[in-house]
């Protein structure tokens, strides 16, 4: 057995000497947080890189979801997907709202637009889809439904940093989109996140909400929380922005190695490449079907025994967790595709710095 342990991802680290220079400058400025120099610089740099106009930085990727629901004054019920990281639904719960789960598309893992209309009630005010593994949702159809019923759309785009569809950033769809800059993501500030909106007035409200609701020194205009990004994370993010394109190119190379070797393997299903989409290759999921020589969990354990730490992402479904499984919409009979994907998926290691020889060893354990 090779003793080298390989995980699903590895953080993107900036040049240490260059980071030291940023830390020295922060020390000299004596401004550690609350809309400091590097915070403002990173907002501008990200807006330019991502092709968006209004972006607000946060201290992690969950708080933008919570704040988006606050900023849009969402009430009642929010239609969402069970096939995601649990933070998606937790953000709905933390706002005192009711999540309503609908099934997903087998080909993408994204929310199935054709299941949304049947879930709409007089209490529904918003839809919260997820661009799963960075693959864009059927945004045109979702927006069409939202317009018919007067619903807001908030995209959880945690996996979709830099992803475009037909030359346009996916972050420009819906009423708002959120990003995560967690250490496991394609682009990272260690912990961090962002909320993208459509106009200056909404950005101002978001920036109030993430700073306790302060409009000025003596005026509080909303029951906000503390979710500001500090200067050290902002500096870390500025440095990583310089190398993210290279990291994505390396991820693309690894994805191509996997796809070439695993396409056509009986019992292993891959997601298809979406036409017109520029991916960021944030994950490489495989789906282990009944035709494969062993179960998904048996393959997962085989990889682990060989120090390959894949991830069953997303398993279990959010709707299976105790705080949500009592909801009528959480019944597995209503979610057959999501349930199947959760039982089949393994995300293989993919990150900048993963060697071709490591990829070949992973492939050899599967084929």
Nearest to residue 186, comparing CAs of 310, 50, 281, 46? 281
Q: Are residues 237 and 248 in the same domain?
A: no
Instruction: Give percent of the chain with pLDDT exceeding 90.
Output: 98
Query: Which of the four pLDDT bands, split at 50, 70 and 90, describes residue 363?
Result: very high
Q: How far apart are CA 181 and CA 174, in angstroms?
A: 21
Q: What is the pLDDT of residue 230?
A: 98
Q: Which of 241, 267, 296 is the last residue of a domain?
A: 241
Q: What is the pLDDT of residue 164?
A: 98
Q: What is the pLDDT of residue 350?
A: 98
Query: Which of the four pLDDT bands, split at 50, 70 and 90, describes residue 290?
Result: very high
Q: Contact at 8 Å (CB) between 284 and 348?
A: yes
Alpha-carbon dihedral angle through residues 315, 90, 83, 74, given to the nearest 10 degrees: 180
Q: Which of 201, 224, 241 is the last residue of a domain?
A: 241
For the segment 65-116, what is each residue's pLDDT rounded down to a tens digit? Answer: 999 999 999 999 999 999 999 999 999 999 999 999 999 999 999 999 999 9
The string of DSSP letters for 119-182 reads H--TTEEEEE-B-GGGPPP-HHHHHHHHHHHT-EEEEE-TT-TT-EETTEEGGGSSSEEEEE--
Q: How far apart are CA 59 and CA 94, in angstroms?
A: 17
Query: Which of the four pLDDT bands, split at 50, 70 and 90, describes residue 129?
Result: very high
344 Cβ partners below 8 Å, 6+ apart? 269, 287, 288, 289, 296
Q: What is the pLDDT of residue 274?
A: 85
Q: Residue 330 gets which letter from DSSP? A: G
pTM exceeds 0.85 for this model: yes
For the segment 27-36, what is each residue's pLDDT rounded down to a tens digit? Answer: 999 999 999 9
* Residue 2 scores a pLDDT above 80: no
350 Cβ partners below 8 Å, 6+ apart? 8, 9, 251, 254, 255, 258, 281, 282, 283, 284
Q: Are residues 235 and 258 in the same domain?
A: no
User: Which residues are registered as beta bridge partners of 164?
Assistant: 169, 278
In a domain, 9, yes or no: no
In a domain, 154, yes or no: yes
Instruction: Report the CATH number at residue 96.
Output: 3.40.640.10
As a whole number, mean pLDDT of residues 153-169 equals 97
Q: How far apart are CA 359 and CA 121, in angstroms?
A: 48
CA 287 to chain centroid, in Å, comes to: 20
In a domain, 3, yes or no: no
Q: Contact at 8 Å (CB) between 287 and 344?
A: yes
Instruction: Report the CATH number at residue 308.
Output: 3.90.1150.10
Nearest to residue 128, comparing CAs of 74, 196, 187, 71? 74
In a domain, 323, yes or no: yes
Q: What is the pLDDT of residue 273?
A: 85
Nearest to residue 346, comparing CAs of 287, 298, 262, 278? 287
CA 112 to chain centroid, in Å, comes to: 18
**Residue 239 vs residues 23, 235, 287: alpha-carbon distances, Å:** 12, 6, 35
Nearest to residue 133, comparing CAs of 98, 169, 167, 158? 158
Q: State how many domains the chain has.
A: 2
* Residue 314 scores a pLDDT above 80: yes
Q: Are residues 266 and 127 in the same domain?
A: no
Q: What is the pLDDT of residue 1?
A: 54
**Residue 47 vs residues 11, 142, 161, 209, 295: alpha-carbon distances, Å:** 22, 25, 12, 20, 44
* Residue 20 scores a pLDDT above 90: yes
User: Using alpha carbons only, what angle is made at residue 313 by residues 162 and 249, rounded to the nearest 5 degrees?
Assistant: 30
Q: Which residues constitute the domain of residue 310? A: 243-366
Q: What's the chain's average pLDDT?
A: 97
Nearest to residue 34, comparing CAs of 196, 197, 226? 226
Query: Which of the four pLDDT bands, split at 50, 70 and 90, describes residue 224?
Result: very high
**Residue 89 vs residues 33, 84, 133, 135, 180: alpha-carbon distances, Å:** 29, 8, 17, 19, 15
């Amino acid at each position: 057995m090779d003793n080298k342990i390989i995980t699903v991802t590895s953080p993107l680290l900036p040049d240490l000497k260059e980071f030291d220079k940023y830390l020295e400058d922060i020390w000299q400025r004596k401004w550690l947080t609350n809309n400091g120099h590097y915070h403002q610089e990173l907002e501008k740099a990200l807006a330019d890189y991502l092709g968006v106009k209004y972006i607000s930085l946060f201290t992690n990727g969950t708080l933008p979801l919570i704040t988006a629901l606050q900023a849009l004054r969402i009430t009642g019920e929010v239609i969402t997907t069970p096939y995601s990281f649990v933070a998606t639904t937790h953000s709905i719960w933390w706002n005192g709202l009711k999540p309503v789960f609908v099934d997903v598309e087998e080909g993408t893992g994204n929310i199935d637009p054709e299941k949304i209309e049947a879930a709409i009630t007089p209490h529904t005010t918003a839809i919260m889809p997820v661009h799963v593994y960075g693959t864009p949702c059927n945004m045109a159809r979702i927006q069409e439904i939202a317009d018919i019923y007067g619903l807001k759309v908030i995209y959880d785009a945690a996996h979709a940093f830099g992803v475009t569809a037909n030359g346009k950033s996916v972050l420009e769809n819906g009423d708002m989109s959120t990003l995560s800059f967690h250490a496991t993501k394609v682009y990272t500030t260690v912990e961090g996140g962002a909320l993208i909106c459509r106009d200056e007035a909404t950005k101002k409200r978001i920036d109030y909400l993430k700073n306790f609701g302060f409009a000025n020194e003596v005026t509080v205009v909303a029951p906000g929380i503390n979710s500001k990004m500090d200067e050290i994370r902002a500096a870390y993010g500025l440095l990583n922005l310089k190398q993210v394109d290279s990291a994505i190119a390396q991820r693309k190379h690894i994805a191509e190695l996997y796809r070439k070797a695993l396409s056509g393997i009986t019992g292993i299903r891959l997601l298809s490449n979406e036409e017109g989409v520029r991916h960021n290759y944030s994950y490489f999921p495989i789906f282990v079907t009944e035709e494969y020589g062993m179960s998904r969990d048996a393959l997962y354990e085989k990889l682990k025994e060989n120090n390959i730490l894949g991830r069953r992402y997303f398993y279990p479904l959010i709707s299976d967790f105790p705080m949500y499984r009592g909801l009528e919409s959480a019944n597995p009979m209503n979610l057959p595709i999501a349930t199947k994907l959760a039982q089949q998926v393994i995300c293989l290691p993919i990150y900048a710095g993963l060697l071709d020889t490591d990829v070949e060893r992973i492939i050899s354990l599967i084929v």
